[in-house]
Amino acid sequence: MIPKDVPVGDFGEVVQLEVRDGFLHAVVHSDGLIVEIDPEMQRRLVTGGYQIVGHDNEGFEAEIFFARGADTVGTIFMREGPCEDQVILRLSYGAPRFEKAGS
């Protein structure tokens, strides 16, 4: 269900996935580091045709805001997890196909 050009699942195990209010929400547990995941995630989103419209990386947490046109938007929040060397990624992704599924 996660679009192939939004590669959050490539960075760890998808532990939660649902469509709610027209948005796809996913939670991924990763054993990577934010400083490694963040730049690679941005590169892959851009390669997939998205524009990075906002970004913040403080080392222990990061956010990527991305879009493709006016109808497709997403955010990826990365936070250090409760276990050592664990990162929790939270995706919120809205596109016309999810508006129908989430209605």
Residue type, 87: V
Whether pLDDT at 102 is above 80: no
Q: In whole angstroms, what is the distance from residue 88 CA to residue 97 CA?
A: 26
CB atoms < 10 A from the CB of 85, how many?
Answer: 10
Q: In whole angstroms, what is the distance from residue 88 CA to residue 14 CA?
A: 10
- CATH homologous superfamily of domain 7-102? Mog1/PsbP, alpha/beta/alpha sandwich (3.40.1000.10)
Q: In whole angstroms, what is the distance from residue 80 CA to residue 84 CA?
A: 8
pLDDT in tens, 12-70: 999 999 999 889 999 999 999 999 999 999 999 999 999 999 999 998 999 999 999 88
pTM above 0.75, yes or no: yes
Q: Which SS3 state, helix, strand or coil, does residue 47 take? A: helix
Q: Are 7 and 66 in contact (CB under 8 A)?
A: no
101: confidence class by pLDDT, cuts 50, 70, 90 = low
pLDDT in tens, 55-100: 999 989 999 999 998 889 999 999 998 888 899 999 999 987 776 6
Residue type, 50: Y
